[in-house]
Chain A
Amino acid sequence: MALVHKLLNSTCILRKCPRPSVTSCPFLGTRFAAYCSSSLQKPVAASGKASSQRKPEGNLQGHHQKEDALDITSPEDKPEVNFDKAIKEEINDHFRYLKGEIVNYWLGPEGRPLHEVLLEQAKVVWQFRGKEDLDKWTVTSDKTIGGRSEVFLKMGKNNQSALLYGTLSSEAPQDGESGRSGYCAMISKIPRGPFERKKSYDWSQFNTLYLRVRGDGRPWMIPFSKFFFSNQGRIRDAQYQLLLDKISSIGFTLADKVDGPFFLEIDFIGVFTDPTHTEEFAYENSPELNPRLFK
């Protein structure tokens, strides 16, 4: 059931990916593999076992890497597809994951003892050391609404960092309804538990976002108190503190209307407790913008 659901999801996302004909590829194969945006430069996994690409688990890792090497499959050596077996494996994997989660729950928050979690002051959440780390991020641009920006994400030299690069173009698409355009974004995937249950990060002990990026090679610390609410590019009138114990994803969006190429190299992203930073929330609501709060 889970697999069918994933298939249905993936077919919706594919709008511009080339669709192979039904005769050459089995039902499951290629559609399921090319779930990402067409501007992503990862090789499309060839037809084969219906393996999940979202969680490269132990026994599936081998399939993933093997498929990366094959760009085109010839009809003669089509690997056999066993739908039932794949579903059973998937379900067993999920149950194993569930058991692991229950055992981790006994040990403590996130599987580590409580005092260790409480004492933690800095934590690396995303590190870019291999191709599987890139899997945790999705890159999008205004290509989805018909614009001209392009964005790519790939591993840097020696697998030490990730490179986010592309071209920004604020030329509006000619579809009669959008007046502005020009954004590129890199968004982390929502963490999933067993059976694709949505989970969230609990960052309530930390107060700063710590990024090591090369624009200028310096570590950037963005305090969580400076985050504000916005919606579709507009800053909202009513501002509230960011809720740190239910973070599902974080993203970087470039939308500064400066056309041209851009480049960002990211080493790691983590969270940090800055003891000198005592501000809780940097903004306040004003009676003009939000009279409802001040009645």
Chain B
Amino acid sequence: MNPLILGIILLTIMAGTLIVMISSHWLFIWIGFEMNMLATIPILMKNFSPRSIEASTKYFLIQATASMLLMLGVIINLLYSGQWTTTKMFNQTSSIIITTALTMKLGLAPFHFWVPEVTQGIPLMSGLILLTWQKLAPLSVLYQIAPSINLNMLLTMSLLSIMVGGWGGLNQTQLRKIMAYSSIGHMGWMTAIMVYNPTMAMLYLLMYLTMTLTMFMLFMINSTTTLLSLSHTWNKTPIITMLVLTVMMSMGGLPPLSGFMPKWMIIQELTKNDNIILPTLMAMMALLNLYFYMRLAYSTALTMFPSSNNMKMKWQFEDTKRMTSLPIMIVLSTMILPLTPMLSVLY
């Protein structure tokens, strides 16, 4: 794409999200969402192929519907309160509708069907933007209206998302679909704690962004999109193989890696609020996630996958992809757990 156009589009995406995050007027939040969505569509369609077009069409339809629902909720809220500020929702109906709209944008179950297919159809870089940056805006609005969200609805959705994220990712051989299902699961964890302690949700978001960014960067180094090509990385760059294993275990929430920290904090917060069954179920479903990561890691990293001879003797070219921040991200994704006592500064 023309670099100038690409720059303007990326700027619009960032501006849209920032408008959502800093506004206190509901109309501006809606405007921010629309700007974000319209500017994301060309980013999703960068490789012009039928699959990308299908993916961006699906994305557009879902996000447009969610924006419409958001507007409906905002207007009902306006009807009952007479003002547009986002301090709290004045009506249960509008709260439910707005929560539905935001969960559609995030890709929580039962509105998760678009996430794997859209992520699968777009290039790795666009998938990265979709699964990281696009989560910021809806979560910031959820953070703002957190006290007035219908608890039952949100907790049901989050439990369903964790189940779907675990079960759906089980048999995928396409890496982008795996990342999509893991995103659904992680969103479930975030929204579960949103009503009780929104700060924990932000902590989880931070960890999730770090880990997802790292995974995508590791995939982009070799442009691997299928499990089979990931299994052959031990031939090309063995260190990437090891790093994929470590970051994946961190995403699964295995101690002593840093992915365990937010899950631990969330379970602790939920039990402090006399909610025992929910975190038990959530932790058990997270095991499903870990199971398929383990199965993946067995074929790719723990065993030397058979490959043909022409793959074993590759010319060692210099790396042209500059991933300057990769070492920092890896350290942040795997070694932050001992810093958990530092969380007290959040209070």
Q: Which one, B202-210, B224-232, B325-333, is touching chain A?
A: B224-232
On chain A, the residues within 8 Å of B308 by CB distance are: 275
Q: How far is the CA of A206 from the CA of B305 in the complex (A)?
A: 16
B133 in contact (CB, < 8 A) = no
The number of chain A residues touching the other chain, given as a range, is 10 to 19
Partner of A115 from B50, B167, B226, B298 at Cβ < 8 Å: B298
Partner of B299 from A115, A202, A205 at Cβ < 8 Å: A115
What 1/0 flags go to B290-301 for Cβ under 8 Å of A?
000001101100
What 1/0 flags go to A253-295 for Cβ under 8 Å of B?
0000000000000000000000100000000000000000100
Q: Which one, A27-35, A103-111, A219-227, is touching chain B?
A: A103-111
B65 in contact (CB, < 8 A) = no
On chain B, the residues within 8 Å of A202 by CB distance are: 173
Count of chain B residues with a beta carbon within 8 Å of a chain A beta carbon: 21
Q: How far is the CA of A229 from the CA of B156 in the complex (A)?
A: 45
CB distance from A198 to the nearest CB of B (A): 14
What 1/0 flags go to A162-201 for Cβ under 8 Å of B?
0000000000000000000000000000000000000000
Q: How far is the CA of A145 from the CA of B313 in the complex (A)?
A: 57
Q: How far is the CA of A243 from the CA of B174 in the complex (A)?
A: 13
On chain A, the residues within 8 Å of B347 by CB distance are: none
Partner of A114 from B167, B174, B226, B296 at Cβ < 8 Å: B296
CB under 8 Å from chain B, chain A span 235-258: 240-241, 243, 245
CB distance from B19 to the nearest CB of A (A): 30
The answer to whether B305 touches A118 (Cβ under 8 A) is yes
Q: State the total of A-B contacts with C-beta under 8 angstroms.
A: 42
B82 in contact (CB, < 8 A) = no
The answer to whether A109 touches B171 (Cβ under 8 A) is yes
CB distance from B172 to the nearest CB of A (A): 8
Partner of B310 from A115, A204, A275 at Cβ < 8 Å: A275
Q: How far is the CA of A204 from the CA of B229 in the complex (A)?
A: 11
The answer to whether A205 touches B226 (Cβ under 8 A) is yes
Partner of A204 from B174, B295, B305 at Cβ < 8 Å: B174
B341 in contact (CB, < 8 A) = no
B51 in contact (CB, < 8 A) = yes
The answer to whether A105 touches B310 (Cβ under 8 A) is no
What 1/0 flags go to B44-61 for Cβ under 8 Å of A?
000011110000000000
B306 in contact (CB, < 8 A) = yes
On chain A, the residues within 8 Å of B231 by CB distance are: 118
Q: How far is the CA of A241 from the CA of B225 in the complex (A)?
A: 15
On chain A, the residues within 8 Å of B173 by CB distance are: 109, 114, 117-118, 202, 204-205
Known: A105-B171, A109-B171, A119-B306. A240 touches B226 (CB 8 A): no
The answer to whether A241 touches B49 (Cβ under 8 A) is yes
On chain B, the residues within 8 Å of A117 by CB distance are: 173
Partner of A293 from B48, B174, B310 at Cβ < 8 Å: B48
In addition to A105-B170, A108-B170, 14 A-B residue pairs with Cβ atoms within 8 Å of each other are: A105-B171, A106-B170, A114-B173, A118-B173, A118-B227, A118-B305, A119-B305, A202-B173, A204-B174, A205-B173, A205-B226, A241-B49, A245-B174, A275-B310
List the interface of chain A (C-beta within 8 A of B).
105-106, 108-109, 114-115, 117-119, 202, 204-205, 240-241, 243, 245, 275, 293
Q: List 18 A-B contacts (CB under 8 A).
A: A106-B170, A108-B171, A109-B171, A109-B173, A114-B171, A114-B299, A115-B298, A118-B173, A118-B231, A118-B299, A118-B305, A119-B305, A204-B174, A204-B228, A205-B173, A205-B228, A240-B49, A275-B308
